[in-house]
Amino acid sequence: MQTYLFDGSMEGLLTAVFEWFERKPGMVVLRNQALHQPDAFEQCFHVISNEQQAARVWKGLQQRLEKGWIRRLTCAYLSEKPDVHDHLFQLICYLFQNPPGAEMNYGNEHVLEVAQTARKVEREKHRMEAFIRFQHAADGIFYCGIDPDFNVLPLLGKHFRNRYQDQQWIIYDLKRHYGLFFDLHTLDEITMQREEENNLMNSKADVLSEKENLYALLWKDYFKSTNIPARKNTKLHVQHVPKRYWKYLTEKQVEI
Amino acid sequence: MSERIREKLNILADAAKYDVSCSSSGGTRKNDNKGLGNSHASGICHTYTEDGRCVSLLKILLTNHCIFDCAYCVSRKSNDIQRAAFTVEEVVELTMNFYRRNFIEGLFLSSGIFKNADFTMERLLRVVKKLRLEERFNGYIHLKTIPGASEDLIREAGMYADRMSINLEMPTESGLKLLAPDKSHQEVIDPLGMVQRQIVQFKEEKKLIKSVPKFVPAGQSTQMVIGATPETDKDIMQTADTFYKNFSLKRVYYSGYIPISNDNRLPMLGSQPPLIRENRLYQTDWLMRFYGFNVNELLNDANPHLDIDIDPKLSWALRNLHYFPIDINVANYKMILRVPGIGVNSAKKIVQARKFGKLRIDQLKKIGVAYNRARHFIKCADSPYQLKDYQSTQIKSFILAESQSKYLKNDTNQLILF
């Protein structure tokens, strides 16, 4: 069995599919070359990303699949899980080898794995839509720093752009060191220096707008008074709002 | 200033929390005026309270002054509590600023009745109009219809709100008469029907003229209090079913009664709210809406109450063992949906996947079927051959033995001798 090594990009993955159909080497596993540990007897083949080949494969996929499935492939890729590349590769090869509609075969392990991974990514994206809490800074921009489990920032832009058209905002991924900035007209990708990033997380009163603390306080009050103590159900609460997200949430911050 | 608004928010959020409706779904408002807010088709729960209920809307009363004296309500006239009232500007400002910070999906505005119904409704209308027209707010607005308000006011409110609701409060007329002698179901039915007819009419016009404005795009809902009066589950669900059918409601909410007064017509202070019962009612509601069950199959004169220890779908299956086992690889979708342990998503996946080959146990498990529960009711490609036919009590004890209820901490199973 051969090992295909690629550079970890979506383009590289699609090129690998192209190469596989060019050579038909039988069973192959796809690995990211940055993470690959070679063993003594394996045959390696380095896939060199090729824009045109990747575009051809992508076009073929778009002809075969519905929009929902194209999105699933993208989502699964954004999960950044180590073995998802191989599943995606196997799935795409499987789709091209079978008549249209093969993506419905949930009995196939790659179909199911990609569908389930995509679902996890969508769930994380939805959680971010819910748990992002903007802070209004003195310079008029609404800030938020996040570190989601998966790289969901590319999926978030549209939602927030549609929603907040009359305010400037920044959503910054502190784990992957890039962010989105909306300046009332266009949405751009930005990167910040490390010191600026640190400022995002522990913002002090002097950089915040004057009313910010009042609204944070009002929100905490609201969160408290809307609770019904007689129905307390901590297990359910933590299930819906897992503890790893508490650091974003205004209502979960301890009052200083 | 800030102290006063904090105090008001505390009082009026506290008074509004017994309204359980929290959904922010179904809105279709788009941010096409460079304003604030854009509705999300499935709604977003921005956080959850410590009792596990979602918080997606800023749920407040405009005021908790009320001329009525309903025994089940905290804001009743005779109750000695702090009273407060928001101004229109305060509600608008709170909503806008919370929304800007992504705290909420929109506003849920209700109110106690002060002076009379029209006066109250007119105030509510002023809030939504200011939000929509002056602040260009496109978020979700859930507005209470005030029973008895004039038709014109309700119709105008419907042009700005996404959802409107009126609470039935008690599942039966007799229950309502007992606790709130001034109210009747008819007062609820009239405006529900009015709004429903308007929704239908606007939809018809929309088909011909594209520019017809939206009218209550997310539909109507209602709420019933459970456990305050001695209704059976059958009464409750049949009322719900009638309202779903007659007014095409989006949701009926069931709210377990939380004791708030010493009134001897009501459960004692300090008694536990009926959480399990509430959960079972919601399960039944889902079975009716998404699983194709008829209310009479689940609740009838022979079984007026839902089982507390098992869910209604399992309990239906155990009463109707003659339908089972079904073969997962040939049975139709409707029947697969009725198997305990298989949900809507799994059922759809099964129907898709079996076109490519017979499904096996391991595949079913991966697809997401609760196999330990479902295996008593299904056959698939590699089901083990079974000589013995089990009785429903035996199957029930098997399932209970290997599952744990999230409510019952101690095992209360009775041993079965035969």
Give B259's contacts in chain A (Cβ within 8 Å): 230
Regions of chain B where pLDDT drops below 50: none
Residue B213: its pLDDT value, please?
86
Q: Say which amino acid occupies B15.
A: A
Phi, psi of B143 (to 5 degrees): -120, 140
Name the stretches of chain A with pLDDT < 50. none
For chain B, the maximum distance between any two Cα atoms, rounded to a whole number of angstroms, is 77
Give the distance from residue A20's alpha carbon to the nearest chain B alpha carbon, in angstroms.
Answer: 25
Out of A162, A230, A235, the one facing B273 most closely (by C-beta) is A230
Residues 143-182 of A with CB under 8 A from B: 144, 159, 162-167
Q: In residues, how long is chain A?
A: 256
Model ipTM value? 0.90
- Calculate helix-pair angle for A153-163, A67-78, nearest 10 degrees: 120
Chain A: give the shortest CA distance to residue B206, in Å. 25
My answer on whether omega of the bond before B325 falls inside 30° of 0, hence cis, is yes
Kindly list the strands in the beta sheet with A2-6, ordered across the sheet, starting from the edge strand earlier in the chain.
Answer: A28-32, A2-6, A43-46
Whole-number pLDDT of residue B5 = 92
Collect all residues with Cβ–Cβ distance below 8 Å to B244 and sequence separation of at least 6: B252, B288, B289
The total of other beta-carbon atoms located within 10 Å of residue B41's CB is: 8
**Residue B75 CB-half CA count within 13 A:** 26
| A169-173 and A142-146 strand pairing | parallel
Best residue of B17, B33, B51, B131 to probe chain A, by most A CBs closer than 10 Å: B51
- The pLDDT assigned to A134 comes to 92
Task: Tell me how close the Cα of A19 comes to any Cα of chain B, in angstroms.
Answer: 28
Residue of chain B minimizing CA distance to A113: B366
Residue with tokens 């098997």: B398
Instruction: Kindly report the pTM of this predicted structure.
Output: 0.89
- Whether the CB-CB separation of B363 and B353 falls below 8 Å is answered with yes
- In this structure, the strands spanning A142-146 and A135-136 are antiparallel
Residues of B in contact with A223 (CB under 8 A): 47, 49, 55
C-alpha–C-alpha distance, residues B250 and B273, integer Å: 25
Contacts of B10 in chain A (CB under 8 A): 221, 224-225
Interface touch A166/B367, C-beta < 8 Å: no
Q: Concatenate the DSSP letters of all residues of B120-172 into one string.
A: HHHHHHHHHHIIIIIS-B-SEEEEEPPTT--HHHHHHHHHH-SEEE---BSSS
Query: Which residues of chain A lie closer than 8 angstroms to B54, CB-CB?
Result: 240
State phi, psi for A5 to the nearest 5 degrees.
-110, 135
In chain A, which among 214-253 make CB contacts under 8 A with chain B?
214-215, 217-219, 221-237, 239-241, 249-251
What does the alpha-carbon distance between residue B293 and residue A148 come to, in Å, rounded to a whole number? 40
Handedness of CA A163, A165, A166, A169 (dihedral sign): positive
Distance CA B348, CA B357 (A): 15
Give the pLDDT confidence score for residue A202 in this predicted structure: 63
Asked if A165 lies within 8 A of B31 by C-beta distance, the reply is yes
